């Protein structure tokens, strides 16, 4: 995981670059070391060579001294002492040089010390011998032989020492050579290794760069296409976009932003000053207020205003914007300006229509109400005067006269029922009625009391399970109960006591097929009776206003009762359905939504 992340990050290139540079320095360092070691090696060889040479010279000088001495001893000629005399200084110099040359080797130093000792000893004996011969004409030959013997031994020692030193120096040189070779041995390996590593790194880098380039070119491609699409979208959608860079205080308008104003794209410098030249003077203050908010808010809520296009046309614009983060870190605001003229006009039109409809509706409702209400007055008078007439003067009327009066009364009654029902219907409007939590069991009880007389006359029985408490318009639901139960009582079978069963149940959202799938829960209340029923084909028709399935002579009624029920149920966003079986009974189901 980490490796992959590393691979994909731009850090990788930096890392590879750093490693490569390091590798180069490394190689340079190695090369430098190589060269210096080489230099050193040749220096060692030279040095050893010189040491050997010098030791040889030293040996020869000592030999010269010896030879001189020998010559003198043989010839007693002072001429032979010349080399002996010069030899001391020569030996000294030589010794000094060797000493210098071997200063870095402890062993040689020790050897040199010995050598010095031996040389001095030889010299000592040489001089002793000479002194002896020179100063005493009658020297002891034994002593001389002893001196010469020691001298010879010393010489041998010197020779041995010098050989030792020589071979030591050879060894030293050999060691140094070995060292040099061994160190030189791993260098190529290291270089090959570094070479391999570098190659691998370069390959990785190459692959990555390649991929990045491909991706980049793809992105650039997509971006340019997206740009094209967005420009097109602006033209089609009728909006333009803009940017405001706070740091540089510059604006950028898209091409369509200009077109919306009726101008050629980029025809003037994008700025607030230029833009507000187009804003309607009445909306100018409002627009400027909102522009100011850009500096304060992260999201500029949409505001609508008018502009006057170049050609004098008035359009409605809606602008919205928000602050965005850009990679450069400069505070930038982006936004869109849409031409919503059509939308505004449509909205105004709809609002106007709504107002018209509402006022029409109000008029109709008022008319409906007043008509039913005001019709009552004259009807009541008719009925009352008629009743007075009947109670006081009925007997004095002729037979036809009495019949007429009876017919008048019947018609008046009919009209009374109609007007009562119409009034009831007009009262079941929804407006301005408040919802209250009501116990439906209580409503049922009240309905029973209301219908007490008919119930007793027919020996009706009403059974119910526990009904719910819902938030409804109480008087309307009360009326609903009275109407439905009243209906069941009215349309009961002759000589059969009506039995009305009322049941309630909860219906979970979307679980009942008769309801639309709208994710609401409903309470279902059913009213089932054993009355005369009806043909199922009329199941929806019976809810129509003034629709009756029987003529008015057989069953009294106006055909409004169930229409009122439907209206009440609809006021509560519910549903009502009916099911009937002729001569067996009917069932009415109402569905009322609840939270």
Q: Tell me if 432 sits within 8 A of 568, measured CB to CB.
A: no
CA distance 74 to 67: 10
Which one of 149, 388, 430, 552 is in contact with other proteins (CB under 8 A)? 388
DSSP 8-state assignment for residue 319: E
Q: Tell me if 433 sits within 8 A of 441, measured CB to CB.
A: no
Q: How far is the CB of 450 from other proteins (least distance, A)?
A: 8
CA distance 244 to 66: 108
Provide the mask over 325-354, with x wherever binding to other proteins is found by CB under 8 A and - wherever it is not. ------------------------------
Calculate Rg over the CA atoms of the chain.
65
Backbone angles phi, psi at 162, to 5 degrees: -60, -40
Q: Does 465 bind other proteins (CB under 8 A)?
A: no
Which one of 57, 208, 259, 448 is in contact with other proteins (CB under 8 A)? 448
Number of residues that bind other proteins (CB under 8 A): 26
Q: Give the torsion sign (CA, 184, 189, 190, 191).
A: positive
Q: Does 402 bind other proteins (CB under 8 A)?
A: no
The window from 239-247, 356-364, 383-391, 487-495 that contacts other proteins (CB under 8 A) reads 383-391
Q: Does 373 bind other proteins (CB under 8 A)?
A: yes
Tokens 């190529």 — which residue? Answer: 188
Which one of 77, 391, 398, 457 is in contact with other proteins (CB under 8 A)? 391
The residues, ordered by sequence, that sit 6+ positions from 102 with a Cβ below 8 Å of its Cβ are 51, 108, 109, 111, 112, 165, 169
Q: How far is the CB of 380 from other proteins (least distance, A)?
A: 6
CA distance 54 to 65: 16
Q: How far is the CB of 287 from other proteins (least distance, A)?
A: 47
Q: How far is the CB of 551 from other proteins (least distance, A)?
A: 24
Q: Does 446 bind other proteins (CB under 8 A)?
A: yes
Q: Does 420 bind other proteins (CB under 8 A)?
A: yes
Instruction: CB nearer to other proteins: give 183 or 387.
Output: 387
Which one of 442, 509, 517, 582 is in contact with other proteins (CB under 8 A)? 442
Which one of 274, 283, 383, 512 is in contact with other proteins (CB under 8 A)? 383
Q: How far is the CB of 572 from other proteins (least distance, A)?
A: 17
CA distance 490 to 342: 58
Which one of 175, 452, 465, 540 is in contact with other proteins (CB under 8 A)? 452
Q: Does 380 bind other proteins (CB under 8 A)?
A: yes
For the chain, helix, strand, coil in percent to 5 are 65, 15, 20
Q: Per DSSP, what are the bridge partners of residue 319?
A: 303, 337
Structure tokens at 310: 């170049």
Provide the mask over 473-512, with x wherever binding to other proteins is found by CB under 8 A and - wherever it is not. --x--x----------------------------------
Q: Does 427 bind other proteins (CB under 8 A)?
A: yes
Burial class of 485 by CB neighbour count within 10 A (0 to 12, 13 to 18, 19+): buried
Q: Which residues of 256-293 are buried (b: 16+ CB within 10 A; e: fewer)?
A: bbbbbbebeeeeeebeeeebeebbbeebeeebeebbee
Instruction: CB nearer to other proteins: give 381 or 550.
Output: 381
Q: Does 73 bind other proteins (CB under 8 A)?
A: no
Q: Which residues bind other proteins (CB under 8 A)?
A: 373, 376-377, 379-381, 383-388, 391, 416, 420, 423, 427, 433, 442, 445-446, 448-449, 452, 475, 478
């Amino acid at each position: 995981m980490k490796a992959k992340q590393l691979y994909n990050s731009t850090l990788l290139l930096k890392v590879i670059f750093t490693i490569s540079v390091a590798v180069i320095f490394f190689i340079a360092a190695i090369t430098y070391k190589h060269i210096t070691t080489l230099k050193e090696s040749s220096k060692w060889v030279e040095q050893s060579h010189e040491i050997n040479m010098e030791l040889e010279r030293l040996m020869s000088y000592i030999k010269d001294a010896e030879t001189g001495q020998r010559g003198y001893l043989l010839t007693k000629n002072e001429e032979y002492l010349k080399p002996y005399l010069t030899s001391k200084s020569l030996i000294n110099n030589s010794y000094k040089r060797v000493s210098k040359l071997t200063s870095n080797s402890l062993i040689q130093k020790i050897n040199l010390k010995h050598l010095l000792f031996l040389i001095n000893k030889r010299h000592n004996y040489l001089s002793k011998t000479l002194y002896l011969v020179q100063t005493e004409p009658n020297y002891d030959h034994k002593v001389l032989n002893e001196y010469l013997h020691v001298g010879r031994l010393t010489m041998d020692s010197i020779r041995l020492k010098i050989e030792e030193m020589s071979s030591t120096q050879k060894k030293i040189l050999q060691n140094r050579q070995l060292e040099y070779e061994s160190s030189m041995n791993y260098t190529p390996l290291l270089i090959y290794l570094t070479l391999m590593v570098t190659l691998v790194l370069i390959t990785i880098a190459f692959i990555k760069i390649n991929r990045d380039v491909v991706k980049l070119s793809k992105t650039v491609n997509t971006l340019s296409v997206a740009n094209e699409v967005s420009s097109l979208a602006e033209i089609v959608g009728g909006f333009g976009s803009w940017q405001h860079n706070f740091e540089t205080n510059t604006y950028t308008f898209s091409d369509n932003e200009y077109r919306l104003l009726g101008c050629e794209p980029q025809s003037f410098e994008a700025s607030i000053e230029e833009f507000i030249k187009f804003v309607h003077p009445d909306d100018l203050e409002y627009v400027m207020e909102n522009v100011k908010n850009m500096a304060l808010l992260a999201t500029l809520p949409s505001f609508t205003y008018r502009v006057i296009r170049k050609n004098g046309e008035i359009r409605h614009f809606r602008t919205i914007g928000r602050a965005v983060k850009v990679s450069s870190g400069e505070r930038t605001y982006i936004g869109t300006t849409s031409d919503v003229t059509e939308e505004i006009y449509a909205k105004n039109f709809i609002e106007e229509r709504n107002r018209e409809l509402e006022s029409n509706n109000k008029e109709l409702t008022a008319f409906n109400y007043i008509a039913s209400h005001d019709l009552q007055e004259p009807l009541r008078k008719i009925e009352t005067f008629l009743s007075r007439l009947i109670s006081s003067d009925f007997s004095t009327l002729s037979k036809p006269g009495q019949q007429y009066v009876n017919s008048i009364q019947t018609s008046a009654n009919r009209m009374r029922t109609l007007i009562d029902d119409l009034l009831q219907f007009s009262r079941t409007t929804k407006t301005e009625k408040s919802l209250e939590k009501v116990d439906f069991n209580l409503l049922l009880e009240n309905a029973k009391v209301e219908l007490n007389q008919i119930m007793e006359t027919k020996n009706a029985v009403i059974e119910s399970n526990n009904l719910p408490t819902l938030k409804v318009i109480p008087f309307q639901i009360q009326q609903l109960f009275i109407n439905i139960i009243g209906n069941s009582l009215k349309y009961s079978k002759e000589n059969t006591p009506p039995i009305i069963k009322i049941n309630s149940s909860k219906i979970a959202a979307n679980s009942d097929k008769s309801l639309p799938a709208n994710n609401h829960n409903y309470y279902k209340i059913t009213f089932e009776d054993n009355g005369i029923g009806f043909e199922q084909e009329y199941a929806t028709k019976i809810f129509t206003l003034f629709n009756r399935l029987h003529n008015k002579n057989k069953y009294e009624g106006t055909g409004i009762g169930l229409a009122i029920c439907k209206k009440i149920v609809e006021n509560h966003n519910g549903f009502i359905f009916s099911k009937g079986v002729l001569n067996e009974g009917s069932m009415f189901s109402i569905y009322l939504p609840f939270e």
